Amino acid sequence: MKICVFGISGIPLGKHNLKDPRLDQADRLVEAKKKTYAQVDLLGDEDTLEADAIVVHRDRFPDLILHDLEFVETRLGRNPPEAEAVVLRKIREELEAERTLHRAGLSPEELQVIAAHSFHTHKPVIVASDAEIASPETLILRTFAEGGYISFLTVGGKENRAWPIRAGTTAWEAAGTIHSDIQKGFIRAEIISFQDLVETGGETEAKRAGKVRLELKTYRMQDYDVVNFRFNK
């Protein structure tokens, strides 16, 4: 996931570990040689169009709105086709009310009309106050979640690891996050919910308590599911 940190100083850009305390908790319950956090890419102000989500200082939020509003006004001034003009005027109303394009409630058909254009607020925008900026780890975790992402866990042996995926990702798609061979040979996913892992005291204990579910390709992964993929090698 790529997160644009807009108008916020003091947060280093580049690769960033998501210090989710749940991985620390899992690492205490399941023995492994190392612990690996999920990672995100933190981008600068100039990379808003490349990002999957934007976290912005409250004082700089109007700048994002203005960027899109200026584009809409310029495009309307060039007499676009009527279907596009209708959508652009709707977007203008939302922006003038300081609502992002992401929250404008456009239909799939309306989105298709403007698909050729790039908007800064056509993605989740998380507005942060000074108090939140003082705790950057928590702020990045919030942006990750509100940006439409979750993580799943693989535990034991060489590594306890969190893997970032988009919310709604299937078990089959999640398998490919680890390795394409696992996805190709997918048989089933053995799932333990994070809550069950904690309540039973570990992976082995969860299995003994009958908390393992067998899920097929179409299962929608849940946040912090602990998974073991069975596949043909």
Task: Determine phi and psi for 170, rounding to 5 degrees.
Answer: -80, 165
Q: Which residues pair with 170 in a beta bridge?
A: 220
Residue 137 has a pLDDT of 93
What integer pLDDT is reported at residue 149 of this predicted model? 98
Three-state DSSP class for 45? helix
Q: Are 41 and 2 in contact (CB under 8 A)?
A: yes
Looking at the chain, the domain(s) classified CATH 3.10.20.30 span 168-231
**CATH number among 1.25.40.10, 2.30.30.90, 3.10.180.10, 3.10.20.30, domain 168-231:** 3.10.20.30
> What does the pLDDT profile of the chain (233 residues) look like in tens digits?
999 999 998 899 999 999 999 999 999 999 999 999 999 999 999 999 999 999 999 999 999 999 999 999 999 999 999 999 999 999 999 999 999 999 888 999 999 999 999 999 999 999 999 888 989 999 999 999 999 999 999 999 999 999 999 999 999 999 999 999 999 999 999 999 999 999 999 999 999 999 999 999 999 999 999 999 999 98
Residue 33: both structure tokens together? 């040689």
Cβ contact 111:118 at 8 Å? no
Contact at 8 Å (CB) between 84 and 114?
A: yes
Q: How, if at all, do strands 125-128 and 53-57 pair?
A: parallel
Q: Do the bridges between strand 125-128 and strand 39-43 make them parallel or antiparallel, or are there none, so unpaired?
A: unpaired
Residue 228 burial (CB < 10 Å; 0-12/13-18/19+)?
Answer: middle
Start-end of CATH 1.10.150.300 domains in the chain: 2-17+40-146
Written out in words, the top-level CATH class of the domain with range 2-17+40-146 is mainly alpha
